[in-house]
Amino acid sequence: MGDLLLFINFYLIPGIVLGSIYALGAIGVSMVFGILRFAHFAHGDMMTLGAFIAFSAIGWLGVGPILALPFAMIGTIVVTLGIDRVFYKPLREKSTIIVVIASFGVALMLRSLIMVVWGVNTETYSSGISMPLVFLDSFRIAERHIWMMAITIAAMLGIHWTLSKTRIGKAMRAVSDSPELSRLAGISTEKVVQATWIIGAGLAAIGGVFIAWDSQIHANAGWDLILPIFAAAILGGIGKAYGAMAGGMVIGIAEEVSSYPWLGDGPLLSPGYKTGIAFAIMVIMLIWRPSGLFRGRVY
């Protein structure tokens, strides 16, 4: 196998898949930051929740991961709207930093419930090894990866359509631009907030299912996701949905490609330090251009 094919099959494609997962989380984080003005630290745990709901749907109904997606999305959306109603809404008039602290509390509660309901073992959706599809003799890609990329692209197109064509989507951008003017224009902030959670939670659930489908899921997975998805949101520019997509992709690909043997025979960066890439990119952005690639807001 040529070096290029090796690179594509074992580094680039996994990178795109990982990037899709990060992007799906980062869009929600970025929109919540832009519209509700706070960093939502329970977002990773929403992804874990989605993954486990799908796990149950697969176990009980015998469906595949794709058909389990709607269950995961609806379940995660319902729980998230409930969380907003009970834990975030009462703090709406207070300083947003109080809501950030509350989101840490919510993260603990979500994780704890996941552990009580689904246990603390690492779970997978299927036990068998599926053979990858092979194109042109040597270009191999797993069927699930094709599905994941297609669903991610569909989700992104859906987001684009919502934000640019629907009234609520435009209102979301308006509130993100200027909450004060939105209020004076009579835009219902609560409706916009709910729409934000519905989109954010739905995408988070998809991302969570992808993690479990691609490898495995553990109740603590959400914590490990927080750093890369925030890094992706900052890289793209806070409040910029398209920026978050690009940011997620860049970080996912960078993480995977960093362990390619660019120099010599060994991996350039020990795979144990993959997660460090997200952090390094974030630090560089914070120093060089805190508004992100897409010129989002800096708070």
Partner 1 sequence: MSVLELVDVTAGYGEGADILHNVSLKLDPGEIVSIVGPNGAGKSTAMKAIFGLLVMHGGKITMGSHDITGMPPEEVVGKGVGFVPQTDNVFPNLSVEENLEMGAFTYDGPLEGRLKNVYELFPPLLEKRNQAAGTLSGGQRQMVAMGRALMLEPQVLMLDEPTAGLSPKYAQEIFELVIQVNASGTPVLMVEQNARQALAISHRGYVLVDGQNRHEGSGPELIADREVAEMFLGG
Partner 2 sequence: MSDQMIGYSSYLITLLTMVAIYGVMGLGLNLNWGVTGLFNVGIAGFFAIGAYTAAILTTEETGKHIGGFDMPFWVGAIAAMITSAILAWFVGKICIRLRSDYLAIATIGIAEILRLILKNEMWATNGARGISNIPKPFESLGGLAGPLAFLALVVGILIVVYVLLEKGQHSPWGRIMRAIRDNELAARASGKNVERLRLEAFIIGSSIMGLGGALSAHYFKFIGLEATEPLLTTFLIWVMMIVGGSGNNRGVLLGALIIWSLWSMSEMVIQAFSLTGEFAVRVPYMRMFIIGLVLNIVLQKYGQGILPERHPGGKDAQPKR
Site residues, partner 2 (CB under 8 A): 33, 38-39, 41, 87, 90-91, 94-95, 97-98, 100-102, 104-109, 111-113, 115-116, 119-120, 223-224, 226-227, 230-231, 234, 270, 272-273, 275-276, 278-279, 282-283, 286-287, 290, 298-299
Whole-angstrom Cα distance, residue 173 to residue 183? 13
Burial call 36-49: b when 16+ CB within 10 Å, e when fewer? bbbbbbbbbbbbbb
Which of partner 1, partner 2, none sits in contact with 143, Cβ below 5 to 8 A by type?
none
Least distance (Å) from partner 2 to the CB of residue 29? Answer: 10
Residue type for 17, please? V
Least distance (Å) from partner 2 to the CB of residue 255? Answer: 12
Least distance (Å) from partner 2 to the CB of residue 7? Answer: 24
Q: Which is nearer to partner 2, 118 or 213 (CB)?
A: 118
The answer to whether the beta carbons of residues 12 and 194 sit under 8 Å apart is: no
Least distance (Å) from partner 2 to the CB of residue 129? Answer: 28
Considering only CA atoms, give the Rg of the chain: 19
Which of partner 2, partner 1, none sits in contact with 94, Cβ below 5 to 8 A by type?
partner 2
Q: Which is nearer to partner 1, 91 or 174 (CB)?
A: 174
Residue type for 258, please? S
Q: For binding to partner 1 (CB under 8 A), which residues are involved?
A: 167, 170-171, 173-174, 176-178, 180-188
Q: How remote is the C-alpha of 3 from its chain's centroid?
A: 31
Give the residue from 201, 217, 213, 206 showing the smallest Cα distance to 52. Answer: 217
Cα distances (Å, whole numbers) of residue 160 to 10, 46, 111, 170: 30, 22, 31, 11
